[in-house]
Chain A
Amino acid sequence: MKYAYYPGCALETTAKEYDHSTRLVARHLGVELWEIPDWNCCGASAAHRVDHLLALALPARVLALAEEQGLDIVVPCAACYNRMKAVEKAVRESEEMRKTIEEIIERSYKGSVSARSVLDVLINQVGLESIKAQVKRPLAGLKLAAYYGCLWVRPPCITAFDDPEDPMTMDRLVEALGGEAVPWPYKTECCGASLPTARTDVGLGMVYQILRRAQEAGAVAIVTACPICHLNLDMRQKQVEAAFQEEFNLPIFYFTELMAVAFGYSPKEAGLTTHFVNPLPLLESSLERRETA
């Protein structure tokens, strides 16, 4: 199983543990990831706010590079994924637009390859049964809130992946890893994307609501599948706690990190040492409980 891999900008810096754990579990499960050479930023979340053509051209260059190899692209970031899906739809609907894009990027682009999320490929291509077979250290006793955010599942006319209001893919993964996925109402609520940075007054409240609902549902941590969601929930958590005078101390995991831990890798090997809300005490207590049980 071989795919083109588009890490996207966040995975070089703020989400490097997501990049690390994605490559680790992909390798573990026999999925070959070929990193697209000299990839550029897809322009999310700024380009489409300013110009339609620019917003299509930037991700189209990346799609064209994967198309040269005839490989579908695996994408870890929901925003990148959504922009690529928008390009796929635009060229499917208009031959004229496809030609315009080719002209702007000066590359051949037929629209023949497809962007897929890491989550989709691991769960639907590799399969939950194969994943379950690799679990050496089940996440026993961990109540987790699976948080999807917006752009993996919306709008369904371009993403065509799971339910837009109540997706279950990651919940099923949590259960396969031996954890407990709590039902909660904010699993697809928006984290604000760049708003917690650009308009802190508006954005922090959005992050607060998500943390609050996860805690109310009894979750001891949140599982994410997007570097922007993670940044907002993890790095900004202290700021949210200060602004709303409430303590959460909720570790925020990437689903790939939890897979790595369940597969038997140490938390360090899984990349769990660079979070802002330290997840190690929670993991250690869960592992101890399992061993004494």
Chain B
Amino acid sequence: MERLSLSQALSSGQAFKERIEAASGVTLSRCYQCGKCTAGCPASSGMDYGPRGIIRLLQLGLYEKAMRSNTPWICAGCQTCYVRCPRDIDMPKLMEAVRQEACRRGIVGDKKTEVFDRAFLRSIERFGRPHEASIMGEYNLLTGQPFKDIMSGPAMLARGKLALLPSRIKNISEIKKIFARVRAKGGEAR
């Protein structure tokens, strides 16, 4: 079994804890680990730690483990845990804060969701709106599943639900500037 020095982890991670708490508005010590969040989480089957586990890791100062966990990436942000939490902890916001903190360090907890999100955002930066066909192409290539959902293509085309060409907004320079300014402020809008 892995040995961990908790007192050391806690003291060295003070700055990290403060940033996570400020970004999420969550006071980590408020959670008393009842587990209602994980019990009601519709995506928990795909998670390694689950929401209760993540907040426990953070309470113990094991930030690196939390950032390398797939849980914040699998979280769909459905807000069920937040609504049911008896301590009113905004867990989805906490997941967001952990994920964004990990992004800043180049840590990826789940490659597939990460690739999808990035492809989606790149498309918005280019066209102002997402272009599904190119997002799926990029996602399939970068995740090594070249034929994924390929059968949906013709059925979607037949129903007029897949645009071959992107829908571009006229004032695209305005969108590009939004991305650039967020980056200039230290944001992660890669």
Contacts and interface: CB of A to CB of B under 8 A. Distances in A.
A198 B171 CA distance: 30
Given A39-B169, A154-B83, A51 B117 contact: no
Contacts of B115: 198
B189 A50 contact: yes
A39 B185 CA distance: 24
A54 B178 contact: yes
B6 interface: no
Interface stretch (A6-14, A22-30, A111-119): A6-14
Contacts of B82: 154-155
B63 interface: no
Contacts of A235: 152, 156
Interface stretch (B10-18, B54-62, B71-79): B71-79
Interface stretch (A41-49, A136-144, A215-223): A41-49
B162 interface: yes
Nearest to B155: A276
A164 B189 contact: no
Contacts of B178: 54, 57-58, 61, 104-105
B64 interface: no
A104 B160 contact: no
Nearest to B152: A235
Query: Which bucket holds chain B's interface residue count?
Result: 35 or more
B113 A199 contact: yes
B116 A46 contact: yes
A40 B52 CA distance: 36
B134 interface: no
B86 interface: no
B158 to A, nearest CB: 9
Nearest to B158: A274
B68 interface: no
A14 B96 contact: no
Given A154-B83, A201-B46, A51 B74 contact: no
Interface string B36-70: 00000011011000000000000000000000000
Nearest to A164: B83
Contact of B79 (A57, A151, A192): A151
A41 B128 contact: yes
B77 A193 contact: yes
A16 interface: yes
B80 interface: yes
Interface in A133-170: 150-151, 154-156, 164-165
A104 B187 CA distance: 12
A53 interface: yes
B100 interface: yes
A5 to B, nearest CB: 16
A54 B178 CA distance: 8
A38 B174 CA distance: 11
Contacts of B121: 43, 46-47, 50, 54
A108 interface: no
A53 B182 contact: yes
A194 B77 contact: no
Contacts of A193: 76-78
A165 B83 contact: yes
Given A14-B162, A197-B149, 15 more contacts: A14-B161, A38-B170, A38-B171, A40-B129, A40-B174, A40-B175, A49-B77, A49-B96, A51-B182, A105-B178, A154-B83, A188-B80, A189-B80, A192-B43, A198-B116
20 contacts: A9-B129, A9-B130, A9-B167, A39-B169, A40-B169, A50-B189, A57-B178, A105-B174, A150-B76, A150-B80, A155-B82, A193-B78, A194-B76, A198-B116, A199-B110, A199-B112, A202-B43, A202-B74, A274-B159, A275-B159
Interface of A: 9, 12-14, 16, 38-41, 43, 45-54, 57-58, 61, 100, 103-106, 150-151, 154-156, 164-165, 188-190, 192-195, 197-202, 205-206, 209, 235, 274-276
